[in-house]
Structure 1
Amino acid sequence: MKKLSCLSLLPFLCILTGTPAMAQSESNSRKPFALADVRLLESPFKNAQEKDLEYILALKPDRLLAPYLREAGLTPKDSSYPNWENTGLDGHIGGHYVSALSLMYAATGNKEIATRLDYMLSELKKCQDNYGDGYIGGVPRSKQLWQEIAAGNIRADGFSLNKRWVPLYNIHKMYGGLRDAYLYAGSEQAKQMLIAYTNWMLKLTSGLSDAQVQEMLRSEHGGLNEVFADVAVITGDKKYLALARRFSHLTILTPLEHEQDKLDGLHANTQIPKVIGFKSIADAGDAQDTAYDKAAHFFWETVVHNRSCVIGGNSVREHFNPVHDFSSMINDIQGPETCNTYNMLKLTRQLYLSDGRADLIDYYERALYNHILSTENPEKGGFVYFTSMRPGAYRVYSQPQTSFWCCVGSGLENHAKYGELIYAHAADSLFVNLFIPSELKWKEKNISIVQQNRFPSEEHTSLTIHAAAPAKFALQIRYPSWVKAGTLAVFVNGRKQVVTATPGDYVAIERTWKEGDVVTVQLPMQTTFEELPHIPSYVAVMRGPIVLAAKAGTEGMTGLYADDSRGGHIAPGIMPALQDMPVLVSDDNKDAVVIPAGDKKNTFRFASKVYPDKYNDIELVPFYTLHDTRYIIYWHKLSQEDLQQDLDRLKKQQEQEAALAARTIDMVAPGEQQPESDHFIESDKSITGIHRNRHWRSAKGWFSYRLRNEASDAATLQVTYYGGDKNRHFHILINDKPIAEVKLDGTKGGDFFSAGYVIPDGAAKTLVVKFVAVDGSETAGIYGVRLLRK
């Protein structure tokens, strides 16, 4: 590669990560350090970075490039990877891979990573040149798709665009990869490829009305508006900012700018990148873009404070749960998705660089330790998709040659960029945001700072100044919200300093610093309990910013390391019954007490009663250290009086769920993006919606799913409807053979109900279930499809 240095790109990097040129004069704005200026030192974060590097090098570039070569009319040098990479989302990991290589090169300077990046870009350039118009993509049948779009033939819903699996989302990954290769690795070639690619999109959509573009945006499209705003900053050409505004989804933007939370039931990670784009437009634009900035701030506030659980993650089954009902967070095994937090941290960083608020770092720290760090196996390096909050759950890890989910793509990036917000600066102030062992080179001041600690095992950190000559600046040390007022202490060369700052602010120490000065910061942590939102009977335990959790056995953890199946990212093992999980018993309804577990570092136990007695000595440790095990994060807390009644309720509920689960062969949640995609949905004249917090799909034409029946023992198809649907007439077919004619007249009332249909021949390994409207009618809203054995 001709140029691999991000030092000269710092002005662009500042802008593209949320520090707009127009905001630099504002007193609260912060400037980031280039990722290459921060090196991690020994810590769990450094280990995670090293495991990520191993994973990146275990992937074969020619397999990732295969879809791009194919669509460009060139001969691939190897076969495509399996899983999502050859079942419709072909090429999406390739874009993440270019970003990950760029970040990892900046973070480590590793020469093999640089060679990989150079090879990826040269091969992608061949694809772009051969395609001929600036396009680079692995989307199946790309030419046909984009010809249809350019002609105004647009058929979009959440999971597809013109019967392709979220192609705009797919190509956004390569847009982002090229941008990152320029910003972090200094590749001029990537810059020119990015501009050509953006010009392709300009031309593609030049004949479309704004309404047609908005119709396209009904399909998940990642953060295309973000990248187009970035290109406007890189080139200085406002036409790209206009494109970014055009690619901003008004259905999401409008309520947010009016501070309205309309997020219930929406696919969570579809929305977060759009909002990152809103903030990018605001930072790159002018006064007309205040609505974008307002929308981004309100979205962050409502998601962080109203829609997140203790680890900083959000969503159940990839969708925002009802804001006042977090029960599914406890009951479902598909809890917060890693991609969501990956994107929430990107948004948080943008907001911090323009606002400088310490509370933004409080959230960033919580989500970084308790979600992002926890999602990589510290020994084998696999990545996690869902981190369930259900007591007794376990997590599935990816493998380099089998697993190509979205959370593998974001995972490749996550652990390469831990150094991005440990420090920031503004004028003559250096801000220490995170207490992660690291070395910073502040070139403007000709100094370096080494931060060392064993946090959170030890409650302090030290910063050693190395200066070629004395340098005057203010060292601003974050006073975390989890440290009690009046308890944080700062020492300079052993001398205690006067601290007037309060939690949620920064402690400023202004002086002329010289070689060898040492600053020690004491960060006393408290043990606190945090309730699950709106469900006070479930609590999590925190030690400072660290979520504590307990092991809950290793039995039945099938599929712990994922195969290449479409649903391999979901833990398939039977989950323990909730009534069999430990309960904290507190008759006076006060918090249970947590005390150290002997002399063990960072290990605790409950001093109060735990039911049943066998759990009284259960140990609590930082959640990010628990791997290859079932775990408990949220604890059921009850009075002695309520204990038996609640256990009886849970037992009855569990028996019903277990009976149904034992008969279930496969199931689909209609209207939910990933379950439908995993079951290869096809449709015509079909729509989706949400009613009473449940997703549905109906059609005036038809729609179908492919259900798995590996044991050839399917006996019944169970379909869930809403009783109020009327004037609905449709047929149900399995493998093109009618099994039922259904007419609904609305007389079933205002509740949901399920009906079972006998499957005449359930021996086929795959059953295609099809719902077809009859005589100009419409199918019912279908709320659930479940294949049952006898």
Structure 2
Amino acid sequence: MKANRRQWLAGVASLAICSVPFKAWAAVVAPKVPLRARPLPLEDVRLRPSVYATAVDVNVDYLLSLSPDRFLHNFRKYAGLEPKAPIYGGWESDTIAGHSLGHYMTALVLAWQQTGNAECRRRADYIVGELALCQAQRHDGYFGALGRKTKDGAIIDGEAIFPEVMRGQIKSGGFDLNGSWSPLYTVHKYFAGLLDVHAAWGNAQALDVAIGLASYFEKVFAALDDQQLQDMLNCEYGGINESYAQLYAQTGDPRWIRLAERIFDNRVLGPLVAQEDKLANFHANTQVPKLIGLARIHELTGKDDPGRAARFFWERVTGHHSYVIGGNADREYFFEPDSIALHLTESTCEHCNTYNMLKLTRHLYGWQPHGALFDYYERAHLNHVMAAQNPATGGFTYMTPLMSGAAREYSGPSEDVFWCCVGSGMESHAKHGDSIFWEGDDTLFVNLYIPATATWQAKGVTATLDTDYPFKPEVRLSLDAVKQGRFALALRIPAWADGKASLAVNGLPVPVATTNGYALVHRAWKKGDVVTLNLPLDLRLENAAGSTDTVAVLRGPLVMAADLGPAEAPWAGVDPAMVGETPLAAFAPMVSDRPRYHTTGLIRPADLTFVPFFSQYDRRSAVYFKRFSEAGWKAEQAAFLAEQARQKDLAARSIDVMHLGEMQPERDHGLTSDISYPVVYRGRNGRDARSGGYFEFAMKVKPGPLVLQASYWGGERARTFDILVDNVRIATQTLDNDHPGAFFDVDYPLPEALTRGKDRVKVRFVPADRSSAGPVFGVRVVTAKPGETAAGAKA
């Protein structure tokens, strides 16, 4: 890493936006891509009191409350050894069992690096020893806890799927492979944990176990031709390409980088190499780890295509697919670019997505440092990652809902969770010091303003960052020790500062001229020098991507949310809206140790208090607001009244109503189903059925012309299903983004021959092959309006 400050300035100036999750790599292979910056080792950074330090402390307590032997249950059982403790519940009792242990290993490594907690290191070494024992019992390099579900619902050792795959027997619907839930995703977590343990403190056994597992799967991949490989890669495989690349870095064996490059999902990654955004309708977190893998391959090989794809993906996701808090995706899927305002639901922003996007950001930053990357990083880290852990309980969110009035749901100490986002949460909150300080030859970059002390070994510098930012504007950096005094300090000046930041050295003002998002101060430093940065924390509005009338409120990097009350109290209000030409003038600060504002005459139906969004752990929030002029608001009220009139007419004509996805109505209507699941979306309950399944229920009827009405969400991905009444098909329905941003109803006139002489009929929804039915958000039987006949069906 011999690029000097001048090369950094020249190289990055031509890049509009451009890290590497270094964990003190014990690298045998040096990167072929010149890295202009790398983070100070996590062991050299210690957090000072702050919300971030609290998050780490709470997370370490949570990690140490967990039992390695319970995570190891299936590993030992499937290796023919007696388990030492009962298995955990939730996902760990499903066919994805074992993924949490991989996350847990990495989290223990990070927690040891961040805090020096010796028990974390001891536990990680213990787990490695247990996995080595399980591997030795199986004799072929394999070990694992992942399962496979049999036809009778039992879960057995999932290893048997891999010989089937090698014979070309590959069956996958995207998240299942021959009866196992995303098995290569789970294997990736084992790899990552083992490689992290080896890199952190040189545990040679961890590397040996990883090589044994890699050799087993090398044979699996080698048995497949190119088309069979693509068939297998249609199933989520996590970042296993990254693991093989990193195994190459830590061993120098070129066979691993060749395999890493072969694990390439043409359907998703090909367009990204070609700089095409075809992300809509792809599962978001399935893709991000693949791009992290490409970034690592780019670093190690110097090949351009993987790096171009990773950079293009980052630019598209952060610029066109991300919410104000930095998260992305709705119901786990990407949607069309610049359509955030159509996707404000209770199912936004899976935490794993953001965890992985921050890893990708670190890669890009390492290649060519630019403050814009850390403007995004800070936004997502502060507003999403910090919202995803409840510091009172240590629990984690899966989704972070951005629908007004939606409450967050956190995992608890219960044994019945261990979602993927519990695993990434363990890691996220073990390492809040990992991206504050970066080094680049003669430059110390300060990217995040988080209270901490750090040692820059290359220059013999010890520094203390003291601040109450982002709640207060001042950041103070003190140099406590300096051995080699001439170097540059690069302090990130966020783009939102808009030229209003001020800087001083030892109390004397210094002009703030930003280059690539940084204020650079190059001088001979000495012990006791103090740099003070003041950043303006003004309120501003930010439009939802693709919308001019849907806005969020920010204060510096903080997303501000309207407080809608405690999570335990049901929310029955209407979405608050902003009405007026100068909305920010209606905000008045309140006396508080944290930013709080109250509005006057702005919010309809009533004014509200605004607070930092991330801290609304057990409160309901509104983040996005429709914005109206006074005249526009009157029109909105008229539309609302018209919809009320429609609903009143519908209620008057209703004979029976089925509230799908709700326990008592489904029991009352005798619902039966197979491969069918209740769903909740945008505050409405519903039910779907997957390929090969169905759901059926009874509905009341009466003599005369009748209509069956079903409610759908208008932004669904393409799907087709049949609707049957007493086993007679009355319609085939196709959904394909028909009414973006809205629920809509479809009327199916009922042939009188089907209802004559009956007081009930059975309604069945059946998906087409390799499709799904619904979700259906309610079904009614209503009397037909005059003139409404079977010819008038709106399917």
Same-fold status (TM-score > 0.5): yes
Counting only pairs closer than 5 Å after superposition, residues 62-141 of structure 1 correspond to structure 2 as 62-140=69-147, 141=157
- Over 3 Å counting, the alpha-carbon distance change for 1:647 and 1:397 in structure 2 is farther
SS in 1 for 2:258: helix
1:703 counterpart = 2:713:
no
What is the aligned partner in structure 2 of residue 49 from structure 1?
Answer: 56
For 1:20 and 1:432, the matched residues in 2 are separated by: 25
What is the aligned partner in structure 2 of residue 158 from structure 1?
Answer: 174
SS in 1 for 2:520: strand
Letter in 2 for 1:664: H
1:640 counterpart = 2:630:
yes
- Over 3 Å counting, the alpha-carbon distance change for 1:681 and 1:667 in structure 2 is farther
1:23 counterpart = 2:33:
yes
- Over 3 Å counting, the alpha-carbon distance change for 1:217 and 1:498 in structure 2 is same
SS in 2 for 1:374: coil
Deviation at 1:682, TM superposition (A): 9.5
CA contact (8 A) 1:438 1:450 kept: yes
For 1:582 and 1:745, the matched residues in 2 are separated by: 38
For 1:115 and 1:322, the matched residues in 2 are separated by: 47
Letter in 2 for 1:704: G
- Over 3 Å counting, the alpha-carbon distance change for 1:146 and 1:381 in structure 2 is same
1:295 counterpart = 2:309:
yes
- Over 3 Å counting, the alpha-carbon distance change for 1:651 and 1:445 in structure 2 is farther
Residue of 396, 400, 415 corresponding to 1:383: 396
Counting only pairs closer than 5 Å after superposition, residues 541-556 of structure 1 correspond to structure 2 as 541-554=553-566, 556=568
Letter in 2 for 1:600: S
Q: After superposition, what is the alpha-carbon deviation per residue over 1:27-74, rounded to whole angstroms, capped at 9, x for unaligned?
A: xx2122211111111111001111111111121211111121222222
For 2:81 and 2:101, the matched residues in 1 are separated by: 17
Counting only pairs closer than 5 Å after superposition, residues 187-206 of structure 1 correspond to structure 2 as 187-206=203-222
Q: After superposition, what is the alpha-carbon deviation per residue over 1:556-611, rounded to whole angstroms, capped at 9, x for unaligned?
A: 55xxxxxxxxxxxxxxxx6535xx2322111xx44432544233244343555234
Letter in 2 for 1:23: V
1:365 counterpart = 2:359:
no
Residue of 719, 729, 738 corresponding to 1:742: 729
For 2:764 and 2:68, the matched residues in 1 are separated by: 38
Residue of 621, 641, 666 corresponding to 2:661: 666
SS in 2 for 1:119: helix
TM-score by length of 1: 0.81
For 1:185 and 1:653, the matched residues in 2 are separated by: 64
> Unaligned regions of 5+ residues in structure 1, if any?
1-9, 558-573, 669-678, 684-695, 723-727, 733-737, 760-766
Residue of 273, 279, 294 corresponding to 1:257: 273
Residue of 585, 588, 597 corresponding to 1:593: 585
1:523 counterpart = 2:539:
no
Range with greater deviation from structure 2 (512-521 or 240-249): 512-521
Q: After superposition, what is the alpha-carbon deviation per residue over 1:290-309, rounded to whole angstroms, capped at 9, x for unaligned?
A: 11111111111111001111
For 1:491 and 1:748, the matched residues in 2 are separated by: 60
CA contact (8 A) 2:75 2:134 kept: yes
Residue of 500, 521, 524 corresponding to 1:512: 524
Range with greater deviation from structure 2 (217-226 or 129-138): 129-138
CA contact (8 A) 2:21 2:359 kept: no
Deviation at 1:353, TM superposition (A): 0.6
Deviation at 1:322, TM superposition (A): 2.0
Letter in 1 for 2:775: G
CA contact (8 A) 1:704 1:769 kept: no
1:576 counterpart = 2:567:
no
Letter in 1 for 2:565: G
SS in 1 for 2:72: helix
SS in 2 for 1:456: coil
Paired residues in the alignment total: 704
1:630 counterpart = 2:630:
no
For 1:245 and 1:551, the matched residues in 2 are separated by: 48
- Over 3 Å counting, the alpha-carbon distance change for 1:772 and 1:374 in structure 2 is closer
Q: RMSD of aligned C-alpha atoms?
A: 3.8
CA contact (8 A) 2:284 2:333 kept: yes
What is the aligned partner in structure 1 of residue 340 from structure 2?
Answer: 326
Deviation at 1:357, TM superposition (A): 1.3
- Over 3 Å counting, the alpha-carbon distance change for 1:501 and 1:82 in structure 2 is same
TM-score by length of 2: 0.81
What is the aligned partner in structure 1 of residue 433 from structure 2?
Answer: 419
Deviation at 1:123, TM superposition (A): 1.3
- Over 3 Å counting, the alpha-carbon distance change for 1:455 and 1:327 in structure 2 is closer
CA contact (8 A) 2:583 2:602 kept: no
CA contact (8 A) 2:111 2:431 kept: yes
- Over 3 Å counting, the alpha-carbon distance change for 1:398 and 1:152 in structure 2 is same
CA contact (8 A) 1:105 1:185 kept: no
For 1:83 and 1:665, the matched residues in 2 are separated by: 24
For 1:749 and 1:263, the matched residues in 2 are separated by: 16
1:501 counterpart = 2:488:
no
Deviation at 1:453, TM superposition (A): 0.6
Deviation at 1:739, TM superposition (A): 5.6
Q: After superposition, what is the alpha-carbon deviation per residue over 1:147-204, rounded to whole angstroms, capped at 9, x for unaligned?
A: 1112221112212111211111121111111121122343222122112211111112
CA contact (8 A) 1:36 1:107 kept: yes
Deviation at 1:89, TM superposition (A): 1.5
Q: After superposition, what is the alpha-carbon deviation per residue over 1:691-726, rounded to whole angstroms, capped at 9, x for unaligned?
A: xxxxx9999xx612689x9xx99999969799xxxx
Letter in 2 for 1:740: N
CA contact (8 A) 1:730 1:741 kept: no
Q: After superposition, what is the alpha-carbon deviation per residue over 1:435-481, rounded to whole angstroms, capped at 9, x for unaligned?
A: 00011111222221111111122201111112263522111111211
What is the aligned partner in structure 1 of residue 669 from structure 2?
Answer: none
- Over 3 Å counting, the alpha-carbon distance change for 1:780 and 1:453 in structure 2 is closer
CA contact (8 A) 2:567 2:618 kept: no
Range with greater deviation from structure 2 (488-497 or 214-223): 488-497
What is the aligned partner in structure 1 of residue 742 from structure 2?
Answer: none
Structure with higher Rg: it is 2
1:533 counterpart = 2:524:
no
Letter in 2 for 1:545: P
- Over 3 Å counting, the alpha-carbon distance change for 1:634 and 1:745 in structure 2 is closer
CA contact (8 A) 2:721 2:733 kept: no
- Over 3 Å counting, the alpha-carbon distance change for 1:475 and 1:155 in structure 2 is same
Counting only pairs closer than 5 Å after superposition, residues 363-512 of structure 1 correspond to structure 2 as 363-400=376-413, 401-467=415-481, 469-485=483-499, 487-501=500-514, 504-512=516-524
Quick one: percent identity of the two aligned structures? 33
For 2:264 and 2:597, the matched residues in 1 are separated by: 49
Letter in 1 for 2:100: I
Letter in 2 for 1:227: S
- Over 3 Å counting, the alpha-carbon distance change for 1:745 and 1:127 in structure 2 is closer
For 2:636 and 2:624, the matched residues in 1 are separated by: 16
Letter in 2 for 1:357: H
Deviation at 1:680, TM superposition (A): 8.4
Letter in 1 for 2:261: R
Residue of 306, 325, 342 corresponding to 2:320: 306
SS in 1 for 2:193: helix
- Over 3 Å counting, the alpha-carbon distance change for 1:779 and 1:362 in structure 2 is closer
Deviation at 1:87, TM superposition (A): 2.3
Deviation at 1:662, TM superposition (A): 8.3
Letter in 2 for 1:404: F
Counting only pairs closer than 5 Å after superposition, residues 197-346 of structure 1 correspond to structure 2 as 197-286=213-302, 289-330=303-344, 332-346=345-359
- Over 3 Å counting, the alpha-carbon distance change for 1:682 and 1:164 in structure 2 is farther
What is the aligned partner in structure 2 of residue 620 from structure 1?
Answer: 610
CA contact (8 A) 1:729 1:741 kept: no
